[in-house]
């Protein structure tokens, strides 16, 4: 029965009827007006949901995971390997427009460059002067093949490349060169780079030698599209 506004229970004769019932046995729940008025997650606005997620333990753990993953990815790109996209046919048939390749950036610090290696590099000043300093192309990285290193005497004649007087076998080129070049000697600290598509490439036979310090890294393999995966012709 109800007496004085309290709740009472008759417990099999052992209770005299004056013992109130505890509405929160054990004190495990906190009853307050705030809980009654609090919105459910689905009733919150988008920004309120974002704030709620960031404040939750799950959100904090996810942010930590994403931050670590992003930091590792940026470190890998900065120091070890990075992706590159082929925008032109200057290196055809080794690369086609749309090919995506991996460029490793470690070995340039520990071993010298060799002939026939494909490298990605920042364009030299002479290239920028040709295309115009304000041109977007003057700031874009380029990809070509090293055909001669410092100390080499290089010449292009009769459509063929000669290094130190020896005709080079170049199965990776699209066609014979239709220009004459050299003979010249590659200066110390420089390399000479040409495109595999010899007659359709703005390369070293036009703008000269490339400082080795401009090299970003060596191209190691194509990873996209799937039917082009591999490193054929890169070494």
Rounded mean pLDDT for each run of 10 residues along the chain, 235 residues in total = 44 52 52 52 67 71 65 56 91 94 90 94 93 84 96 96 96 94 96 96 96 95 90 78
| Residue 130: Cβ within 10 Å count | 14
What's the pLDDT score for residue 9?
43
What's the pLDDT score for residue 205?
96
Which of the following is catalytic: 69, 90, 135, 201?
90
Query: What percent of the chain is modeled with pLDDT above 90?
Result: 53
Give the predicted TM-score (pTM) of the model: 0.69
What's the pLDDT score for residue 43?
64
What's the pLDDT score for residue 161?
97
pLDDT tens digits for 38-72? 566 566 676 776 777 667 777 667 666 766 665 55
What's the pLDDT score for residue 30?
46
What's the pLDDT score for residue 114?
95
Annotation says 134 is catalytic? no
What's the pLDDT score for residue 185?
97
């Amino acid at each position: 029965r109800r007496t004085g506004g309290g709740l009472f229970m008759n417990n099999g004769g052992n209770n005299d009827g004056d013992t109130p019932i505890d509405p929160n046995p054990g004190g495990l729940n906190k009853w307050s007006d705030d809980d009654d008025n609090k919105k459910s997650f689905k009733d919150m606005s988008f920004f309120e949901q974002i704030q709620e997620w960031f404040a939750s333990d799950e959100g904090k753990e996810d942010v930590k995971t994403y931050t670590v993953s992003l930091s590792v990815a940026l470190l890998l790109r900065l120091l070890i390997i990075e992706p590159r996209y082929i925008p032109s046919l200057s290196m055809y048939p080794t690369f086609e427009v749309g090919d995506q390749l991996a460029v490793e950036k470690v070995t340039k610090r520990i071993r010298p460059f060799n002939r026939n290696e494909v490298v990605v590099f920042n364009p030299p000043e002479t290239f920028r002067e040709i295309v115009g300093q304000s041109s977007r192309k003057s700031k874009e990285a380029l990809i070509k093949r090293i055909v001669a290193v410092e100390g080499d005497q290089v010449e292009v004649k009769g459509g063929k490349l000669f290094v130190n007087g020896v005709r080079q076998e170049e199965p990776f080129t699209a066609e014979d060169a239709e220009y004459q070049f050299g003979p010249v000697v590659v200066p110390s600290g420089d390399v000479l780079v040409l495109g595999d598509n010899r007659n359709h490439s703005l390369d070293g036979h036009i703008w000269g030698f490339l400082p080795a310090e401009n090299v970003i890294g060596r191209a190691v393999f194509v990873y996209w599209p799937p039917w082009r995966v591999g490193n054929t012709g890169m070494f």
